[in-house]
Chain A
Amino acid sequence: MKRRDLLRAGLAAGLLPAWGSGALAAAVRAGAGRPARLDPAAWRAYIRRFVLPEGRVADTGNKGISHSEGQGYGMLLAVAADDRATFDSLWGWTRTTLMVRGDGLTAWRWVPGEGVSDRNNASDGDILIAWALLTAAEAWRVEEYRTAAVTLVQALAAAVVVEQAGMTVLLPGRDGFRRGTGVVVNPSYWVFPALRAFAAVPGGAVWKRVADSGLVLLAKARFGTLQLPPDWALLDAGGAVAPAEGFRKQYGYDAVRVPLYLAWDGYDDPYYFRPFAALAARGGGDGPVPATVSLPGGVTAQVPASVGMLAVYRLACRLAAAGNTVTVPPPGPDEDYYSTTLFHLAALAGQSLGIEP
């Protein structure tokens, strides 16, 4: 329901929605580098709730549509659960249904009864899918996955990696994110562990620069008293960053993944986690943690953060070493797709850091 707001905001502005990503993998080499494992019972519940027989992940918070982000997350979780059959089903549907653009990238949105309803790509969806393919190739020794991943990574490098103000950044989608001399970026599209995996692909040096620039971007994209990153930001030609016009100027459902991906890739500098821990502390005690914060004003939403978001905050609090913590209730029986996914991703990230069992 919360994400639906976001979806509408994106559509109203005629822009790509922002989806997230995260993921996991049987053989993630991030951080402490332990292969992360998803509990079989949790994975069975996930399939039952969100994975349809034809191989698509339904976003239950958004009228059951499917998107490239969801496919990517599903594939990553399948690898973590060591479930090759489901992985193949998800990948098969993605390839035949969404990879219809002709440039190797993935159409981002598919609506039941309608099919592909927006052919533009969402860069994080492509990144998640490619990363899932790479981890699958390694987990199950399948060269075919690796070949597909490399092709997708190269298509991404050609279409959405751009130089701006001395930084190497990701366009959120191939089309529609340039604003005069500035570019719109989505900080949560920097899936750091995926970028690291891409950098290791032959010819993948540019991805190291993307990752390095991502850290600089996050040091610049801090607004309001809490110093949180916006879901959508404009990076101007001079290198300055501001919450982007035409989007809701807020920290919220997208940017909550920033600390998740940083932690997952082994970053633990408290500087990068403090804003999120501070937000969690703001809710702390009795009050709920707000789901969104307007930037730079700092107006918080009435809607509380979901279970999955709280799981991310728990991780961020540990790394910020700010002394506070967050209680994460178990996901409810009707917990939506995004919250459930974040919940599992946070657990996998914690495992890879060696701070969760």
Chain B
Amino acid sequence: MTPTRTFLLLLAAAVAGAPSAGAQTPSGQNGGARALAPGVTVDVNPAPGSGSATAPAKIDETALRHYARTGDVERLEAEIARLRALDPAWEPPKDLFTPQAQAPGVDETPFWKLVSEGKVPQARAAIAEQRRQSPSWQPSAKLLQELDVAEDTARLRQASDARLWQEVTEIAGTRPDAVSCARLDSAWRVAEAYGELKQTDRALAIYRTLVSQCPKAGERRDTLYKASRYLSPEQVRELAALATTANPAAGEDYTVVGRAQADLETGRLLERAGSGKGGALSPDDLARLEATVRDRRDADGALTLGWYFQQRKQHRPAQEWFALSNQWAPSDRAAEGLILAHAGLGEKDKALEAAKPWRGRSPRVDKAVLAVERPAGRGGRGGDGPPPGPSPLDQALAKRDYSACLTAIQRMAAKSGMTAALAQQRGWCLIELGRPSEAEAAFAEAQALGGKTGGKTAAKGSGAAPAGKTEEEAAYGQALARLAAGDMAALAHDLPALPLSPRHRAEIRASLLAAEANRALEDKRYHDVLRLLDARKEVEPEPRNLGILRGWALYNLHRLTDAYDQFKSIDDRLSTPESREGVTITRKTIYHDWQ
């Protein structure tokens, strides 16, 4: 076997639709980014004496020589792959890197340079000017094709970004080759458009093509993630099976597809368990879910399972899962569950024991304790007067039954009128139920009610004036609701004028910056990712998931040493699949070690 040298092809950013497809997408989950395995990997054979055949005359090497001349290794590799696909017998010319005499006539280098810089309109202009000056000259077919593809890809991307799904499919109709592994991003966007248009069959057809034709395991895995938004669990399973078995390429490890499918399945089951919708899980599903959560020491998953059992009055397994969650990652949420599970088991002492670390520090723990003690007259938090034992609302909150919360509030409001505090509580319950738009309205109502009753200070106060506590909390809730609803741009605009405490303002600002950074990564604006994360760091320390995001931005900017250091420092603190993936891929890229 001849020694091979392998280039990693990444950074397809410069020209959309260039034949190299650097697959790199963030996953929407947890606001973190999932960086995918690098894109096309191509073997080049520069080995001396490897006897490469002379290229058949019909292979157009114009672009190849251009990329070699300009040192654009990434496109060079992609072009080699493309030409090999056209003619498997073809070998790259040995003299690729030796200076070539220019063909007579017009030198196309300046146009190719513009194209490779993403300056397609400028390239068009320069070509028109050249044609005006040299009437007998025609640009090469390869150059024109490159321009057409770049323009159509950009149109498709614009239409997709603008959510003009019909237009996306129309553009794809005029450019059938958009749906190919070579232009994976376009293909995904077309499938997404069909998904949004509820033409699931056509979306599925594209996803099937991609998972069975694209050789890279990472590409197949990403396709699976994309597809899961539009397909049923059964269809995703079928797609995963196809992705693991169809047309395997040598050296590719398709087990990542299976793992991704398991991830999706777990996520789906957790969501079902957590939402309380869709009824009980089947014993099989439940067993699978429990095994996965245990396997991953997933504290959030354990919480979800705890509540799943608690709501079914299975207090023992609930208590066990809350305890595991608390053990893996101590939190007041886990303590809250633990308190209520123990209470359900009649273990009041253990309940109070579990509450100890959080009492007076966590309102949710205090509320849970309140529900356990049923202390008529023994008020927890002073100032409100002695509470008359747990009301239906308190009970609902203690049980984390947010639908009951809404019902209780509705009853109370019907009885004695809506108050700012009630409206606000309603907002929080709506947030917990994942209904941000209604939550926003509830917080707005709280603000209005607060302004009516005690709003003298806040009524005309400038941003600097201290806002009332209720008003502040309502504004905070409203901002969180808008964050949850994805109303980023407008929220960023309004933020300076909102009556928020400095701490909450900083928190919202940090969340906005994190969301922007995620979006920038999606758009492959890697410099912006770093800028946004740096700005966020000024506000508060960088959490782990954003640290991973930063790592991939550095990686995609080819700041490989920085990326490696970033991943390594995260991995040293706590090693997880995400951090290990970053470390491994970056190291392999640095050392060209892709065997």
Contacts and interface: CB of A to CB of B under 8 A. Distances in A.
Contacts of B131: 267-269
A220 interface: yes
Interface residues of B, number: 13
Given A267-B132, A268-B135, A269-B131, A216 B125 contact: yes
B128 interface: yes
Interface stretch (B116-124, B500-508, B557-565): B116-124
B128 A271 contact: yes
A272 B170 contact: no
A217 B132 CA distance: 18
A212 interface: yes
A12 to B, nearest CB: 27
Contacts of B488: none
A269 B132 CA distance: 8
Interface string B132-151: 10010000000000000000
Contacts of A269: 124, 127-128, 131-132
B150 to A, nearest CB: 11
B121 A268 contact: no
Contact of B124 (A219, A225, A268, A296): A219
A225 B131 CA distance: 26
Interface in B155-208: 167, 170
Interface in A269-288: 269, 271-272
A215 interface: yes
B132 A219 contact: no
B237 to A, nearest CB: 39
A240 to B, nearest CB: 9
B170 A215 contact: no
B37 to A, nearest CB: 32
Contacts of A296: 167
Interface string B409-439: 0000000000000000000000000000000
B129 interface: yes
Interface string B99-124: 00000000000000000000011101
A212 B132 contact: no
Given A269-B127, A271-B128, A216 B135 contact: no
A127 B62 CA distance: 42
A74 interface: no
Q: Which of B120, B122, B125, B170 has the most CB atoms of chain A within a 10 A radius of its CB?
A: B125
Interface string B459-493: 00000000000000000000000000000000000
A261 to B, nearest CB: 13
Interface in B330-357: none
Given A212-B129, A269-B127, A272-B128, A219 B121 contact: yes
Q: Which of B131, B167, B170 has the most CB atoms of chain A within a 10 A radius of its CB?
A: B131
B500 to A, nearest CB: 28
A22 interface: no
A216 B129 CA distance: 11
A216 B132 contact: no
Contact of A215 (B128, B135, B167): B128
A266 interface: yes
A225 B164 CA distance: 13
Contacts of B128: 215, 267, 269, 271-272
B339 to A, nearest CB: 54
Q: Which of A216, A268, A272 has the most CB atoms of chain B within a 10 A radius of its CB?
A: A216
Interface string A257-271: 000000001111101
Contact of B125 (A215, A225, A265, A266): A215
A296 B129 CA distance: 27
A296 B124 CA distance: 21
A212 B135 contact: no
B132 A220 contact: no
Contacts of B132: 265-269
A212 B170 contact: no
Contacts of A212: 125, 129
Contacts of A216: 121-122, 124-125
A272 B131 CA distance: 12
Interface in A151-183: none
Nearest to B125: A215
Contacts of B167: 296
Q: Which of A215, A216, A219, A225 has the most CB atoms of chain B within a 10 A radius of its CB?
A: A219
Interface string A32-65: 0000000000000000000000000000000000
A266 B167 CA distance: 35
Contacts of B124: 215-216, 219, 269, 271-272
Interface string A187-225: 000000000000000000000000010011111100001
A212 B133 CA distance: 14
A296 B159 CA distance: 11
Contacts of A266: 132
A220 B129 contact: no
A101 B490 CA distance: 43
Interface string A219-249: 1100001000000000000000000000000
A194 to B, nearest CB: 16
Contacts of A219: 120-122, 124-125
A82 to B, nearest CB: 28
Contacts of A271: 124, 127-128
A305 B127 CA distance: 30
Nearest to B174: A225
Nearest to A224: B167
A217 B121 CA distance: 8
Nearest to B167: A296
A327 B510 CA distance: 64
Contacts of A272: 124, 128
B390 to A, nearest CB: 56
Contacts of A217: 121
A225 B170 contact: yes
B170 A220 contact: no
A67 B132 CA distance: 33
B489 to A, nearest CB: 16
Contacts of B129: 212, 215
Contacts of A268: 131-132, 135
Interface in B239-298: none
Nearest to B120: A219
A271 B130 CA distance: 13
B234 to A, nearest CB: 37
A234 B142 CA distance: 32
B124 to A, nearest CB: 4
Nearest to A211: B129
Contacts of A220: 121
A102 to B, nearest CB: 36
B135 to A, nearest CB: 7
Contacts of B127: 269, 271
Nearest to B123: A219
B174 to A, nearest CB: 8
A216 B125 CA distance: 5
Nearest to B170: A225
Contacts of B125: 212, 215-216, 218-219
Contacts of B120: 219
B198 to A, nearest CB: 22
A268 B134 CA distance: 11
Q: Which of A269, A272, A296 has the most CB atoms of chain B within a 10 A radius of its CB?
A: A269
B145 to A, nearest CB: 13
A166 to B, nearest CB: 9
Contacts of B170: 225
Given A217-B121, A218-B125, A265-B132, 9 more contacts: A215-B129, A216-B125, A219-B120, A219-B124, A219-B125, A267-B128, A267-B131, A269-B124, A269-B132
11 contacts: A215-B125, A216-B124, A218-B125, A267-B128, A267-B131, A268-B131, A268-B135, A269-B128, A269-B132, A271-B127, A271-B128
Interface of B: 120-122, 124-125, 127-129, 131-132, 135, 167, 170
A-B CB proximity, top 10 nearest:
A215-B125, A219-B121, A269-B128, A219-B124, A216-B125, A220-B121, A216-B121, A269-B131, A266-B132, A267-B132
